[in-house]
Amino acid sequence: MKKVILLTTCMLFVSSMAFAATTIDLTLTSKTTTGGEVRAHDTTASASTALIGKNSTGVGTGMITSALGYSLVTQHLNGSKAYGSSYDSTSMFVEDVTTIGTVFLAKPSAIDTASFVDWNEL
């Protein structure tokens, strides 16, 4: 299920990254926070702008993009793992969340697998 969430998030965000900001951070701060939204314009996005993607309640996403590629991380706040991937790898990466219910998610630091050096490869 978590892989499906990550792949769906990837398809929604990456297929429209030309219209979105170069960094996207939909991290959550509590279990009751509704999932964030990404709209089609990076500076004037509003409820009337085309919706690119939306997370479910309790799901956070961090992403960095450029003309050369992308890297993204996703986590469910009640989950025990965070998942990530990038354009230059066919692998998915996983990292254990030390305390369930805390936000482990952070934007990746690079558009390639350098963001996942200390993570386990699936």
Q: Model confidence at 93, in pLDDT bands (50, 70, 90)? A: very high
- Tens of pLDDT along 37-62? 555 555 555 556 666 667 777 777 77
* DSSP of 25-55: E---SSTTPPPPEEES-TTT--TTSPEEEEP
pLDDT of residue 92: 92
Parent domain of 84: 2-121
Cβ count within 10 A of residue 111: 21
Q: Please give the model's pTM, rounded to 2 decimal places.
A: 0.60
92 and 70 in contact (C-beta within 8 Å)? Answer: no
117 and 38 in contact (C-beta within 8 Å)? Answer: no
The total domain count for the chain is 1
Residue 76, helix vs strand vs coil: strand
Cβ count within 10 A of residue 114: 12
